[in-house]
Amino acid sequence: MRKAIFLGMALVLAVTFAGCGGDGGPDLVLTDILSSGGAYDGDITYDSVLDSYSVYTAADSPYTVMAGEDPAVSGIEKRGFITFPISSIPPGAGIRSATVLLPIFSSQAIFPATSITLFVDMVTFPRLDTVLTQPDMAAYYDAAPILLGPSISVLSGFAGDKSFDATDALNEVRDLGYSTLQIRVTGSSGEVTIDDLDPSGLTPLLRVEYTR
C-alpha cells in the first residue's frame, strides 16, 4: 500500500494552483522531483581495518542507497549520495519551500543503541560510476559540505518515510547556478537502507513549492 500511494504521488510531477496569494497574485506551483538514481546515486564504503574505499551505485538491484555504520561488521561505514535534477524549476521562480522525502526500506541500530542518527549535508559529486580511484573515493567521502543540513533520528527496525526541510539548500544551489541538488547522508550508531528508483518501489523525492 505504501508503495502504491507513493508512486501515485510521483506520477503527478507538477500541479498549479491559480490565483494563490489573492487576486492578481502569483501562482503557487507544487513540483515533485524524483532523484536521478541509477549511476548518479549510491554509496561509498570505508573499511577502517583495510583503510580502503569502495563504491556501489543504485543502478543495479536492489536499487538502494546505504548510510551509516554496519551493525554486523565493525569498522565499516557507508555514506549515501543522492542527486535531484532541478532544471525544471524556472530560473526566476521564488522558492516558497522545499522538502526532501527519503523512503527508508530498513534500519538497524548497533546494540545497545535503539536508534540511528542520520546527518544530511549538501555537497557536489559526479556520477558515482565515474568515481574509480581510491583518492577520488576518499575525496567525495570526506568532502567539506557546501551547506550543513539537519540530523534525523530513525528508530531501529523503522521502515517508512523520513522528511526534512531543504529550502536553504535549494536556494543555495540555484544561487550557485547548479542544475542539481545533491546530498550526502551519513549515519552513526547503525545503518539505514534507502529505496532509490526501484522500478517496483520507491524513490527519494524533492517537493518544491514556488511562485512564478
The residues spanned by each domain of the chain are 2-211
Q: Is 56 exposed, middle or buried (0-12, 13-18, 19+ CB in 10 A)?
A: middle
Instruction: Tell whether the model's pLDDT for residue 5 goes beyond 90.
Output: no
**Longest alpha-carbon distance in the chain:** 64
For residue 23, pLDDT beyond 70: no
User: Residue 128 to residues 38, 43, 75: CA-CA distances in angstroms?
Assistant: 9, 8, 22
pTM of the model: 0.88
pLDDT reading at 14 higher than 60: no
pLDDT score recorded for residue 98: 97
Q: What is the mean pLDDT of the chain?
A: 89
Beta bridge partners of residue 115, listed in sequence order: 155
**Counting every residue, how long is the chain?**
212
Q: Which of the four pLDDT bands, split at 50, 70 and 90, describes residue 26?
A: low
Q: How many CB atoms lie within 10 A of CB 18?
A: 9
